[in-house]
Amino acid sequence: MHFNSPWQDTNYKTWPSLTENLQAEVVILGAGISGVATLYALLTQTNKKVVLIDKGRVAGGATGNNAGLAVSHIERPVDELIHAFGLEKTREAFQEIDSGWNSLLNLHEKIGLHDNLVPFQSASLGFTSVESFLDFIKANLIRQKLGGDQWDFYLLDSEQIKSQIPPEFTPYFQYRTHPQILSELHVVDTSYMAAAVRTQPIQIGRMNGVRFCHHLIDYLYTLFPERFTIYENSRINLIELEDKHHILHHARGKLLAKELILCTNGYKHFRIIDKLTQQDFMHLHNAIIPREGYLATYAGNSRVPHANAFFRDDKIYRDVPYWYLSQLPSHPHSIDLIGGPEFIYPTPCPENFSEQNAETSLKLFKQFLKQTYNITPTFDHFWRGVMGYTQTGLRWVGCDSHYSNLWYNLGCNGIGIVPAISGAYRIAKLMSGMTLPSSLFDPPAK
Ligand SMILES: Cc1cc2nc3c(=O)[nH]c(=O)nc-3n(C[C@H](O)[C@H](O)[C@H](O)COP(=O)(O)OP(=O)(O)OC[C@H]3O[C@@H](n4cnc5c(N)ncnc54)[C@H](O)[C@@H]3O)c2cc1C
């Protein structure tokens, strides 16, 4: 078994490390998909010169360790968003995210990566409780009005279940026998009593983010070789914030940045201070709650590109209420990918595998696959990655409320691929001087 993601199996071009003092117009800290997409947006939409820095390799963070499901979605429940921000602002937020999905597809076309992001041909969601099934229907009805995909809904035909259904929901689903529900989900596990199914291409695709980032950089290099530099293996330990410029400290010197864009996801192993007061600037670090997620792949037996997710409200999987699997044919074999186990860290997340969490996750994967499909696969890759969730459940895209030369494109990273792209375009617009209406993604005031 390989203890790395399959996205990291290929060797890509390397970049030098920071070895001396430097000055830069714009520094992007973090070369994952958020940083690389922000680089693209700045180079194509502004005249700025940019330095992109990472403590490891390009796309070596969550981007290189995720499940690769590009999906146009915001993690916070849509009815909650409407309640908090109103229908119009919520609609605009989804429009922005949907435009990120389109931009991601277009970018793949532009850089000639036609096979890296292919929408799934079908998808299914399984539910073990009436409550989560109805919640999903409710959310999907609202999301459809805001431009989302339409699903078909099936519920187990049983008197006991029928008695739990409020009448206003009955137009939206059909009753099915238990074998029919299990067959819609392709599972043998009889605890599923409802399904949401989509049998047409869906706005979800699986992509290799490492390949995408490196190809995008190569493309930018042919167009703008003079306007950007990349430094890998260059950890920034301390950032001193100032109105005129920020000072970024690395092992071999300092970097002076007129503008700084943090694309650092859930990593918070660096200190940020206000240069004048020498006080810690905890605004970002207090807001970010890192999570460690585990994933595995195994040789699949399906040739149909298909995505599945399972919502479990039962005691057996108390710690993993949400499981996601994707089947994507790739040559010469089809590879299935499974994810679900996550661990929350109130402090910085450890940079390496936690042995105990890895063992727990592996055990859970085996148990879940046996129970769900009656299979005992041999895993060929098993790995983990770090996500950063904000306290509001919303990504931060924009300028800091205190420093007008400090920017963010980060946070809320369980679903972060598509929002990274829409965020990058928004940052470039704002940095080129455009005034945009306020958004759900505006970083909160300090
Ligand atoms: C297990 C797992 C599964 C996921 N599955 C999905 C999915 O299916 N769909 C989806 O949309 N999203 C998914 N995500 C989330 C998605 O991967 C992320 O939202 C996205 O990749 C984040 O990109 P990023 O560029 O913001 O962060 P990253 O890719 O993590 O990049 C941040 C970079 O900042 C660098 N950095 C941090 N601190 C410093 C420092 N002090 N100095 C220098 N560099 C620094 C890091 O080295 C890192 O490379 C998943 C994440 C994980 C972990």
Q: Which of 38, 55, 260 to mutate to test the pocket of ligand 1 (most atoms within 8 A of CB)?
A: 55
How much is the pLDDT for 304?
65
CA 3 to ligand 1 centroid distance, Å: 18
Please tell me the predicted confidence (pLDDT) of residue 118.
82
Q: How far apart are CA 444 and CA 425, in angstroms?
A: 19
Mutate to test the pocket of ligand 1, among 413, 418, 421, 422 (most ligand atoms within 8 A of CB): 413
Span 112-127, pLDDT tens digits = 998 899 888 889 999 9
Q: What pLDDT band is residue 446 in, cutting at 50, 70 and 90?
A: confident
3-state DSSP assignment of residue 425: helix
The verdict on the CB of residue 51 being under 6 Å from ligand 1 is no
Question: Would you say residue 336 lies in a domain?
Answer: yes
Number of domains in the chain: 1
CA of 62 to the centre of ligand 1 (A): 3
pLDDT at residue 101 greater than cutoff 90: yes
In ligand 1, which atom is closest to the CA atom of 292?
A: 53
Q: For residue 337, is it within any domain?
A: yes
Is 328 within a domain?
A: yes
| Residue 144 domain flag | yes
Which is higher by pLDDT, 327 or 61? 61
Could you tell me if residue 374 is inside a domain?
A: yes
Q: Whose CA is nearest to atom 34 of ligand 1?
A: 30
- Which tens digit of pLDDT belongs to each residue from 129-148? 999 999 999 999 998 888 88
What distances in angstroms separate CA 207 from CA 40, 94, 115, 298, one per listed residue? 18, 21, 9, 17
Is residue 98 included in any domain, yes or no?
no
pLDDT tens-digit series, residues 63-86:
999 999 999 999 899 999 999 999
Contact yes or no for 36/52 (Cβ under 8 A)? yes
Order of strands, edge to edge, in the sheet holding 322-329? Answer: 174-176, 152-156, 194-198, 122-127, 306-311, 322-329, 334-344, 288-299, 379-390
C-beta of residue 424 within 8 angstroms of C-beta of residue 216: no
Best CA proximity match to 31, nearest among 5, 15, 54: 54
* 303 pLDDT more than 70: no
User: How big is the chain by its Cα radius of gyration, in Å?
Assistant: 22
**Ligand 1 mean position, distance from CA 180 (Å):** 39
Residue range(s) defining the domain that contains residue 136:
120-204+289-390
Please tell me if the CB atom of residue 270 comes closer than 6 angstroms to any atom of ligand 1.
yes
Whether 224 is in a domain gets the answer: no
CATH number for the domain including 385?
A: 3.30.9.10
Has residue 314 been placed in a domain?
yes
372-427: per-residue pLDDT in tens? 999 999 999 999 999 999 999 999 999 999 999 999 999 988 899 999 999 999 99
How many other CB atoms are found less than 10 A from the CB of residue 291? Answer: 17
